Amino acid sequence: GQNIDQPTEMTATEGAIVQINCTYQTSGFNGLFWYQQHAGEAPTFLSYNVLDGLEEKGRFSSFLSRSKGYSYLLLKELQMKDSASYLCAVRGTMRNDYKLSFGAGTTVTVRA
Amino acid sequence: NAGVTQTPKFQVLKTGQSMTLQCAQDMNHEYMSWYRQDPGMGLRLIHYSVGAGITDQGEVPNGYNVSRSTTEDFPLRLLSAAPSQTSVYFCASSSDPPDSYNSPLHFGNGTRLTVT
């Protein structure tokens, strides 16, 4: 099975940087995803890591360490529209690799 | 391009009633799935399908049935609704074949179900 942990809530100021950590314990590993979900809306894809290291996409970056079972999502130059829940999801090596297991999500509140 | 379309957006059922949540995608994705999202919990996989005619159970399949007669449609049936099935339900699809791992899920806008 999969065990995915991330903080419940984080608050930051507009223009600042916030780092959302995700730790996981899985039966095998085949990739880690980050999704953004605004209140009342569907999750949307942000990033994907399968190898160790940092993936950068504009203001958002995601890091992975497979040996530590650890990832983080870094949000830079925070904007009010970044207030949302951020979901960490891991694909393990179950009998069908399509299955993703999700963490409970981290609600980020950006304050002016 | 509509993506993943779910209907209805809201539904209230009484205990014991049955209903079907509809999901359709127009991206020719082979892989489709249903998740439920409850406060304080991650999205939990109910059922999934790797192609027309093929379905399998996820983490929390009890009380739900699915079928996949076409590539486009993947309905979720609640057999006899219970208050524990009050949740937000998301349908998602992906183009990911078994040997490719970087295709993200595309989610529908969700169905908010209340069972009284």
pLDDT of B7-55, one tens digit each? Answer: 999 999 999 999 999 999 999 999 999 999 998 888 999 999 989 999 9
Q: How far is A42 from chain B (nearest CA, A)?
A: 5
Other beta carbons within 10 angstroms of residue A97's beta carbon come to: 18
Q: Tokens in use for B45?
A: 């996989």
In chain B, % of residues over pLDDT 90: 81
Distance CA B109, CA B32 (A): 14
CB distance A32 to A49 below 8 Å: yes
| CA B111 to chain CA mean position, Å | 9
Joined tokens for residue A78: 């925070």
Name chain A contacts of B110, Cβ cutoff 8 Å.
Answer: 41-42
Averaged over B67-75, what is the pLDDT? 97
Provide the pLDDT for residue A111.
97
Total count of residues recorded for chain B: 116
Reported as half-sphere exposure (CB side, CA atoms, 13 A), residue A67 has a value of 2
Q: Which residue of A has its CA nearest to B5?
A: A42
DSSP state letter for B104: P
Q: Which letter does DSSP use for residue B45 in this model? A: E
Question: Shortest CA distance to B39 belongs to which of B6, B87, B76?
Answer: B87
E strand spans, A1-112: 3-5, 9-13, 18-25, 32-37, 44-49, 53-57, 60-65, 70-75, 84-91, 100-102, 106-111
Mean pLDDT over residues A54-67, rounded? Answer: 95
Specify whether the CB–CB gap between B115 and B13 falls below 8 A. yes
Q: Test B41 with A104 for CB contact under 8 angstroms.
A: yes
DSSP state, residue B105: P
Q: In what side-by-side order are the strands of the sheet with A70-75?
A: A3-5, A18-25, A70-75, A60-65, A53-57
CA dist., res. A49 & res. A72, Å (int): 10
Q: Which residue of B has its CA nearest to A87?
A: B42
**How do residues A19-43 score in pLDDT, each as one tens digit?**
999 999 987 788 899 999 999 999 9
A110, β-bridge pairs: A12
Single-letter code of the amino acid located at B10: F
On chain B, the residues whose CB falls within 8 A of the CB of A45 are 104-106
For residue B52, the model assigns a pLDDT of 94
pLDDT interval class at A108 (50, 70, 90) = very high
Q: Using 50, 70 and 90 to split pLDDT, how confident is the model at B99?
A: very low
How would residue B103 be classed by pLDDT, with cut points 50, 70 and 90?
A: confident
